[in-house]
Amino acid sequence: MTITDDFMAALNTAESSGDVSGLLALHADNVTLQNLTDKEWSGTDGAREFWEAYLGNFEDIRSEFTESHEAAGMGVMEWVGTGHLKGGREISYRGVSIIEITDGKVVAFRSYYDSAAFVGPVEAQ
């Protein structure tokens, strides 16, 4: 198994249990995390904040990984996330996440996804 495989399994566990500890164990002490915002999270405290905030967006969420590859210290994962946002609205969205790996630990995480899926439909007046 690769670190990318371990990462996908740990994320699925965190999504089903709400416990991010297994996922955090894969992160280096100096990890950086980014998503579509302009904010960057760093270190183990930043990683915990990032992943707990991610899970906090949903009543339930499950990432299905459709493709993955790891080579030369980089892992790439394509996925579809399905579940329910807080408040109950269903969501299904696609994305790609990239991890950089050094000495068996994730030193950087970046995620790019369909942010439009988080915006509710405009209701006719």
- What is the pTM for the complete model shown? 0.93
Full DSSP string of 83-124:
EEETTS-EEEEEEEEEEEEETTEEEEEEEEE-GGGGSPPPPP
pLDDT score at 122: 55
Closest to 27 (Cα-Cα) out of 44, 12, 41, 11: 44
> Domain coordinates of the chain in residue numbers?
3-114
State pLDDT tens for residues 52-106.
999 999 999 999 999 999 999 999 999 999 999 999 999 999 999 999 999 999 9
Q: Which CATH class is domain 3-114?
A: alpha beta
Q: Is the pLDDT of residue 116 over 70?
A: yes
